[in-house]
Amino acid sequence: MKPSSRENSGYEETISHSGHRLTPQRRQVYDVLLAHRDHPTATEVFIRAKQRMPAISLATVYNCLDTLVECGLARQVNVDRDATRYCPNCEEHGHFFCEKCGEVTDVQIATGKRYFQLPGNFTATSTEVTIHGVCAKCQVASNS
């Protein structure tokens, strides 16, 4: 899956307006996130980025991911005590975690609905919703 022109222009504008340089390494890491949207770990991003950019290091990938998160171009996804995963979808959404295969999938959250009642003067700045279960692929495999 190739990044759309909207994602390309959004990337360049967001990085430069955040005071960061447009480096080939950052671009490559962002392209890896956009290519499959399967919520890879930093190590998985490193392995994929290395295919097109053999000189990239794991430390550089971590730094690039930190910058992308800081700039709002990616989100960290934490499921239990597993390694942090990265998601380029910065729209409000949740995640479904398959307990059998470990796959993480984006799930839509109904907009305009209040699912949580916050106490008193609390103000939410973000939410993380993760639903645990078994994906359709694993259900079919277990029924075979």
Out of 44-58, 68-82, 116-130, the most confident range is 44-58
Residues 36, 104 within the same domain: no
Total number of domains in the chain: 2
CA 17 – CA 104 distance, rounded (Å): 31
- pLDDT category at 113 given cuts 50, 70, 90 is low
Report the residue count for the chain.
144
CATH number, domain with residue 134: 3.30.1490.190
What would the mean pLDDT of 7-21 be, rounded to a whole number?
75
- pLDDT category at 117 given cuts 50, 70, 90 is confident
Residues 60, 111 within the same domain: no
Domain boundary among 85, 100, 117: 85
CA dihedral 71, 74, 80, 81 (to 10 degrees): -70
Residues 74, 11 within the same domain: yes
Domain hosting 135: range is 91-143
Residues 80, 100 within the same domain: no
- pLDDT category at 9 given cuts 50, 70, 90 is low
Percentage of residues of the chain with pLDDT beyond 70: 90
| Residue tagged 């609905």 (tokens) | 113
Residues 9, 47 within the same domain: yes
Q: Which two tokens stand for residue 138?
A: 């694993």
Residues 64, 98 within the same domain: no
Give the tens place of pLDDT for each residue, 19-49: 888 899 999 999 999 999 899 999 999 999 9
CA 18 – CA 116 distance, rounded (Å): 32
- pLDDT category at 114 given cuts 50, 70, 90 is low
